[in-house]
Amino acid sequence: MRYVEPGLVLRFARNQLAALLVILGGMVLLLSLLTSTFLTANNIFNVLRAFSWIAIASFGQSIVIIGGGIDLSAGSNMAFAGIITAMLLLAGYSVVFSILVGLLITLGIGLLNGLMVSKTKLPPFIATLGTMSIVRGFCYGMTQGWPVRNLPRSFMFLGQTDIWRVPLPAIIMIGLAVFCAILLEKTKLGYHVYAVGGNEYAASLVGINTGRVKTIAFTLSGLFAGIGGLLMTARLGVAAPTAAQGYELDIIAAAVIGGISLTGGEGSVWGALIGAAIMQILRNALVLMGFPAYWQPAAIGAVIIGAVMIDMYRKRKV
Amino acid sequence: MEAKVFASSQPILSLRGISKYFGGVHALEDVDFDVYPQEIVALVGDNGAGKSTLVKIIAGVHRPTKGHIFFQGQPVEIHSPHDAQALGIEIVYQELALIETRDVPANFFLGREPVKGRLGIFVDRRKMVEDTVRTLRELGIELPYLRSPVRYLSGGQRQALAIGRVMPWGGKIIIMDEPTAALGVKESRRVLDLILRLKEKGCSVIVISHNMRHVFNVADRIVVLRGGRKVGDKKKSETTPDEIVKLIVGADML
Amino acid sequence: MKGKQWIVVGLVVLLVWGCVIGVSAAEKKKLTFAWIPKALNNPVFELGRDGAFAKAKELSETTDYIVEVLYVGSVASDAAEQVRVVEDVIARGVDGIGISCNDPDALVDVINKAVDAGIPVMTWDADAPQSKRFTYLGVSNYDGGKAAAELLIRYMGEKGKVALLTGVPGAFNLEERIRGFKDVIKNYPEIEIVTTVACYDDINLGVQVVEETMQAYPDLTGWFFVGLWPLFAERGSMPLWEEAAKSGRVKTVAFDTLPVELEYLKEGLLVGLVGQKYWGWGYDTIQMLFDYVVNKKEFPYWTDSGMDIVTIHNVDAMIEAWEKKDFTKPLPPPFPEE
Ligand SMILES: Nc1ncnc2c1ncn2[C@@H]1O[C@H](COP(=O)(O)OP(=O)(O)OP(=O)(O)O)[C@@H](O)[C@H]1O
Ligand SMILES: [Mg+2]
């Protein structure tokens, strides 16, 4: 009986992460050659910090997308977590309490998304489009449009500290990536997330509680958007009701560039991490190279399409 | 007559007065259905006759609109596929129920991944791979790369995988919904042999097929559904393919 | 024919009746003006609203009228939604409308509808020039950009490398400011505009691109923030810029005069601010509507609302105005020595 495993070359070519790393490496190499400022410790850590919150939110998003859904409320949740926590801090509550409440609320919004999708069978696009708007409305309503400022240093510490020069948000990002990777790839729940996203009906036929799996995925997405939003708020020292507007698209793009198929059932958190890195490095590069601001959206769009096309081509070929 | 033949043994599974309505569609209407120990029952009928619906009720996918289920004489409620599995009922779905994006071991253990460690949440991947390889080898199922997504497998290979994965669970009643639909001659023969071997091992098998040769090859008894009603329940030795075909299409058609 | 005559008779009766009431009861007549910003989610409009309410109170106390302000608008900037809001206001019936238009063309029809229904309309902050509004109260963003360039040159000198931070590329008011700024800089061949970066009105992105630009152009000497986005972030968010600004290597001029910016200015991180009179958006608009309706005053097609220039010399007066929420006193000159 032949249970041959693929050879090394084929395995490498089939490995999405390897392909993504090659793209990322190529970008880094090119930029180090083109600019003198890209490959400086300062800049690298800046990039790391700047994309950490998008990446963290995209981990949660990845779980949802792999499970066959989509979460458009991620950007609003990022802003909302920041506003809740900032307002509690200004009201004199402790840092730990304020953070916990902020996260609990976005977790609750995620849970609500999950229940709408699994219980009332709303399409995820519609359910989360609704919460996106509702949550943003709360952001405006609770602040009356004004950014919440003058946050305590002990909170901003989270976003502004470096440990051996590495920004704390980047360290948290790596920790959460490991957590999500283990969750998705090593646990029964993770297996079921892939199953539900790959073929929901098949998953229900074998007795997987698909509603529960989806609810958990959306809840985690809410939580992770909250964590990302809090780190961003801590870094900037301001919780603006307009913060993270439109970030859901960056978050989804990071996941998709990272090889997570929008049809579900495929991809990994590491892909999303690399996808977020590619997006941020691209943004950074455009500024460093003095690329005209007016042309930047075009460049970013081209890279999104290019990266996904390379990935699809690779899938078809091998 | 029939009652006398099987009087010696109680049915392991009995369905009584089962009806299933999907909105206005009456998929099943007042169906009685029995399975005896170590018996191979063929379930036949035209497209849309209600065969899959009937076995899905047994497998816990659908709840009957009316009627009762008895397992070894005891009334039971089968709310979910897990309930069915707990009773020792295994099913190979007509739809195969495979996840195209996942590899062979993940599909092999779909929905009941073995866990390790004290937390009981971590999947025992090594056991999955080893058991998959062993079972497939025992069944003589040849698959190429184990770690590729199932979407790279051929239709027959997928069907083989779907059949193979219910084998290790020691089910008492094995249901196969059109297991040979996508298979070649040689592979179909293997599946029929497998069905006979399962019977030898003491299992009961419910097999759905449109192929009369296959049906008469393995079945002990043949149950015919037409338009959601049971229109025939014959011992193989007391019927002919012709009669079964007449029952399937309905006497009024001839 | 008959119908029209009856309407005329009815109107005359109403008029006489109104006069009788007015004379006999000496009761104050009520005037309601709708004051409609582009969006309710932008804090600068709240300052305008406060100005509108302040003027209404003032007029109610000093004239024979009770002036009320109806503050309505779409939550976010949305021309279609704003059209709906104006329709509602027309249906409700008011004595005048002051509006900041989300789109110069989209609002034309509904403004004309209001005017045809006998409700005078003026625009402020953002105009709909093709409509029948009686005037537009606004600043020339182009002139604002020029003023910003002059401020920067005053502090930075006549040579150096300058970067621009804008919001959403293509936004008309921002582009006008940039055009004005560049037209002044053109006359100084030794000043080079090295890059223009955009932050899409996002604080986080603003912080990022400013820092990246500092990274890319270590010899930068000047910044023009066409809006105040990154300045909403707390100290420590832009270490490279802060350090360069504090040491005086980089001089920064920004648009708007919000309290956060005033703090930065007082600390010397910003050298100058050019701001619109948000308070006046409401305060002056209500006065103008009142003059138009009650005093039948004529207004030019375009009314310049003027601009606040804030430097270290008059920043304290501006801070005080913010604290008291009272912008009626004129600001001291930015350069007293002249
Ligand atoms: N989930 C469902 N919702 C609505 N109608 C259904 C559903 N499942 C089955 N039906 C209907 O019930 C009837 C019986 O379907 P079933 O799948 O049991 O037929 P079948 O005998 O298995 O046919 P085939 O030989 O084509 O597989 C059909 O009319 C079908 O359309
Ligand atoms: Mg069927």
Q: What is the residue-wise DSSP string for chain B? A: -HHHHTTTS--SEEEEEEEEEETTEEEEEEEEEEE-TT-EEEEE-STTSSHHHHHHHHTTSS--SEEEEEETTEEE---SHHHHHHTTEEEE-TTTT--TTS-HHHHHTTT---EETTTS-EE-HHHHHHHHHHHHHHHT---S-TTS-GGGS-HHHHHHHHHHTTGGG--SEEEEESTTTT--HHHHHHHHHHHHHHHHTT-EEEEE-S-HHHHHHH-SEEEEEETTEEEEEEEGGG--HHHHHHHHH-GGG-
* Predicted pLDDT of residue C1: 44
* Predicted pLDDT of residue B4: 41
Q: Which chains touch A (3 or more CB pairs under 8 A)?
A: B, C
| Residue B118 placed within a domain | yes
**Residue A37 Cα, gap to closest chain C Cα (Å):** 6
Which tokens sit at C101? 């238009």
Q: Which residues of C touch A238 (CB under 8 A)?
A: 203, 232-234
Q: Using 50, 70 and 90 to split pLDDT, how confident is the model at C201?
A: confident
| Residue B242 placed within a domain | yes
Q: Do chains B and C touch (3 or more CB pairs under 8 A)?
A: no
Calculate helix-pair angle for A124-143, A95-118, nearest 10 degrees.
Answer: 150
| Residue B5 placed within a domain | no
Chain A with chain B: Cβ pairs closer than 8 A: 92
Going by CA atoms, what residue is nearest to atom 1 of ligand 1? Answer: B22
Mean pLDDT of successive 10-residue stretches along chain A, which has 318 residues = 54 71 88 86 85 95 96 96 96 94 97 96 95 94 86 89 88 96 95 96 95 97 97 92 90 91 91 92 87 84 83 68
| Residue C336 placed within a domain | no
Count of other CB atoms within 10 angstroms of residue A204:
19
Contact predicate A255/A108, CB 8 Å: no
Radius of gyration of chain A (CA): 20
* Predicted pLDDT of residue A13: 60
8 Å CB contact of B142 and A265: no
Q: CA C2, CA B245: separation in Å to the nearest integer?
A: 88
Return the ligand number nearest the Cα of B210: 1
Contact predicate C258/C319, CB 8 Å: no
Residue B2 has pLDDT above 50, yes or no: no
Distance B199 CA to ligand 1 centre (A): 28
* Predicted pLDDT of residue A289: 85
Which among B194, B238, B195, B186 is positioned nearest to B41, based on CA atoms?
B195
B173-177 and B204-208: which strand pairing? Answer: parallel
Going by CA atoms, what residue is nearest to atom 8 of ligand 1? Answer: B53
CA within 13 Å, CB half, B151: 12
Q: Which residues of C touch A290 (CB under 8 A)?
A: 194-195, 216
| Residue C8 placed within a domain | no
Domain regions of chain A by residue span: 49-244+261-266
Q: Which chains touch B (3 or more CB pairs under 8 A)?
A: A
**Residue C86 Cα, gap to closest chain A Cα (Å):** 21
8 Å CB contact of A236 and C201: no
One-letter identity of residue A225: A
One-letter identity of residue A137: G
Which tokens sit at A88? 């509690």
8 Å CB contact of B102 and A208: no
Ligand 1 contacts (CB < 6 A) are B 22, 25, 27, 45, 47-53, 94
| Residues that place a CB less than 5 A from ion ligand 2 | B 52, 94
| Residue B158 placed within a domain | yes
8 Å CB contact of A35 and C40: no
8 Å CB contact of A244 and C204: yes
In sequence order, the β-bridge partners of residue B229 are B226
**Touching check for B102 and chain A: CB below 8 Å?**
yes
Mean pLDDT of B127-133: 93
The CATH number assigned to the domain holding C119 equals 3.40.50.2300
* Predicted pLDDT of residue B7: 43
Distance B211 CA to ligand 2 centre (A): 13
Q: Which domain holds residue C238?
A: 141-276+310-324
Please identify, by atom number, the ligand 1 atom nearest to the C-alpha of residue B53. 18
Residue C3 has pLDDT above 80, yes or no: no
Model confidence, pTM? 0.85
Kindly identify which residue of chain A lies nearest to residue B140, measuring between CA atoms.
A1
Total structural domains in chain B? Answer: 1
Biggest distance spanned by C-alpha atoms of chain C:
82
* Predicted pLDDT of residue C242: 95
Going by CA atoms, what residue is nearest to atom 5 of ligand 1? Answer: B22
ipTM of the complex: 0.90
8 Å CB contact of A206 and B123: no
pLDDT digits 0-9 by tens, C249-268:
999 999 989 888 999 999 99
Going by CA atoms, what residue is nearest to atom 16 of ligand 1? Answer: B50
8 Å CB contact of C203 and A147: yes
Which among B211, B10, B70 is positioned nearest to B222, based on CA atoms?
B211
Residue C10 has pLDDT above 80, yes or no: no
Q: Which residues of C touch A245 (CB under 8 A)?
A: 201-202
* Predicted pLDDT of residue A288: 86
One-letter identity of residue B241: P
Kindly identify which residue of chain C lies nearest to residue A49, measuring between CA atoms.
C208
Mean pLDDT of B181-199: 91
Look at the block and give the residue holding tokens 């059209």: C83
Residue B3 has pLDDT above 50, yes or no: no
Which of A52, A161, A231, A238 has the highest number of chain C CBs within 10 A, making it the mutation to test binding with C?
Answer: A238
Biggest distance spanned by C-alpha atoms of chain B:
65
In sequence order, the β-bridge partners of residue B170 are none
8 Å CB contact of A242 and C209: no
CA distances from C119 to A73, C125, C292 (A): 41, 20, 11
8 Å CB contact of A236 and C42: no
Phi-psi region of C76 (alpha: psi -120 to 50; beta: other; left: phi over 0): beta
Q: Which domain holds residue B34?
A: 25-253
8 Å CB contact of C40 and A145: yes
pLDDT digits 0-9 by tens, C174-193:
999 999 999 999 999 999 99
* Predicted pLDDT of residue B70: 96
B221-226 and C96-99: which strand pairing? Answer: unpaired
Distance B28 CA to ligand 1 centre (A): 9
The verdict on C201 and C286 lying in the same domain is no
The CATH number assigned to the domain holding B246 equals 3.40.50.300
A235-239, B207-211, C14-18, C195-199: least confident range: C14-18
* Predicted pLDDT of residue C14: 55
pLDDT digits 0-9 by tens, B25-36:
999 999 999 999
In this structure, the dihedral spanned by the alpha carbons of residues A142, A144, A145 and A151, taken in order and rounded to 10 degrees, is -60
Contact predicate A147/A238, CB 8 Å: yes
Measure CB to CB from residue B113 to each of A5, A188, A198 and give the nearest one. Answer: A188
Look at the block and give the residue holding tokens 């509603």: A211
* Ligand 1 site-directed mutation target among B22, B92, B249, most atoms within 8 Å of CB: B22
Contact predicate C36/C89, CB 8 Å: yes
| Residue B215 placed within a domain | yes
Which among A304, A273, A254, A317 is positioned nearest to A14, based on CA atoms?
A317
pLDDT digits 0-9 by tens, C111-151:
999 999 999 999 998 888 889 999 999 888 899 999 999 99
Look at the block and give the residue holding tokens 């599909």: B107
* Predicted pLDDT of residue C7: 59
Measure CB to CB from residue B102 to each of A3, A189, A195 and give the nearest one. Answer: A195
| Residue B225 placed within a domain | yes
8 Å CB contact of C216 and A287: yes
Contact predicate B100/B163, CB 8 Å: no
Return the ligand number nearest the Cα of B47: 1
Contact predicate C187/C313, CB 8 Å: no
Contact predicate B86/A183, CB 8 Å: no
Q: Using 50, 70 and 90 to split pLDDT, how confident is the model at B205?
A: very high
Total structural domains in chain C? Answer: 2
Q: CA A37, CA C220: separation in Å to the nearest integer?
A: 14
Residue C305 has pLDDT above 90, yes or no: no
Looking at chain B, the whole-number percentage of residues with pLDDT higher than 90 is: 78
The verdict on C167 and C189 lying in the same domain is yes
Which of A194, A199, A201 has the highest number of chain B CBs within 10 A, making it the mutation to test binding with B?
Answer: A199
| Residue C39 placed within a domain | yes
Count of other CB atoms within 10 angstroms of residue C214:
24
Q: Using 50, 70 and 90 to split pLDDT, how confident is the model at C25?
A: very low
* Predicted pLDDT of residue C9: 58
Distance B63 CA to ligand 1 centre (A): 14
Calculate helix-pair angle for A16-34, A269-288, nearest 10 degrees.
Answer: 20
Going by CA atoms, what residue is nearest to atom 22 of ligand 1? Answer: B52
Please identify, by atom number, the ligand 1 atom nearest to the C-alpha of residue B45. 21
